[in-house]
Amino acid sequence: MPMQIGLDDLLAMLMSRVEEMSLDSDNQRSKFNVMFRMLYKKGIFNEEDVYNAIKDENKILLELGAIKAMPDDKALRAAADNLMLWIKGDAKEIKASLEEAQKRMQEAAEKQNKPKIDVAPAGVLNELDRLGANSNKKLIL
């Protein structure tokens, strides 16, 4: 016998899981930032090392089929520069970069005209099921 769960319960469960994953991700990011800042300040690696590591990572992803094409040098440099902002801890530049990224995301979202998903109340779905009962068809959710 199938178990029924309300949409509110399902959404609450999913949001709880997403929040848990977000907290774990923030914790890991913080630890990596601390370690990489320490190593960078000791001179263990430099900006060119970061660029080469990003390039190597993308080569591996390409060989594994995780990406379809190798990013161009400009994209690789941008990724390396972005990572170096965090490693150097330049809060002013990080803030400006995040604001610019948010602006680009908003512009992209405005350009997309995705159809909306409407959710019918449970009473309407039950009525549709009742109306379809004579035709041996069930409404699939």
pLDDT tens-digit series, residues 76-117: 999 999 899 989 988 899 899 889 989 988 888 888 766 666
The number of C-alpha atoms within 13 Å of 49 and in the hemisphere containing its C-beta is 8
pLDDT reading at 1 higher than 60: no
Domain ranges (residues) in the chain: 13-108
**42-67 confidence digits (pLDDT tens):** 999 999 999 999 999 999 999 999 99
Give backbone dihedrals phi and psi of 122, rounded to 5 degrees, phi first: -55, -40
117-131 pLDDT tens trace: 667 777 777 777 777
> How much is the mean pLDDT over the chain?
86
Which one has a higher pLDDT value, 68 or 9?
68
Neighbours of 62 (CB within 10 A): 14
Tokens of 5: 């769960």
Residues 10-31 have a mean pLDDT of 90
